[in-house]
Amino acid sequence: MSGPLVESLAMWPTQVVMKNRSIPAAKFKANCLSLLDEVARSRAELVVTRRGTPIARVVPLERPTRRAKLKIRFIGDVVGPSEPEWND
């Protein structure tokens, strides 16, 4: 793993970086776009702190599922009335 978050937390034990990744708000602001890319790539959440207190959590979105291709075949009249007319 590489990126601004890992470089800024290089002095932390590896277990802490992998389990509970956090970064001060000022560093998050300075590296926001690259940190968002890293969260999307690693699929791991990131906690933003202010003076050591967690204030936000950045989590990856769920990956969209592929839509099934749907083929529709109309048989008969799809514009006309669906029920027979009533004769009064």
pLDDT 10s digit of each residue in the chain, 88 long? Answer: 455 554 444 444 333 333 468 999 999 999 999 999 999 888 899 999 999 999 999 999 887 777 777 788 888 777 877 777 777 6
The pLDDT of residue 24 is: 95
Give the pLDDT confidence score for residue 86 in this predicted structure. Answer: 74
Classify residue 67: in a domain, yes or no: no
Is residue 47 one of the residues assigned to a domain?
A: yes
Report DSSP letters for the chain, one per residue.
--SHHHHHTTTS-HHHHHHS-EEEHHHHHHTHHHHHHHHHHH---EEEEETTEEEEEE-PPPPPPPPPP------S-SSS-SSPPP--
Q: Provide the residue range defining the domain that includes 42.
A: 4-58
Find the CATH number of the domain harbouring 46.
3.40.1620
The reply to whether 37 falls in a domain is: yes
Residue 22 included in any domain? yes
Domain count, the chain: 1
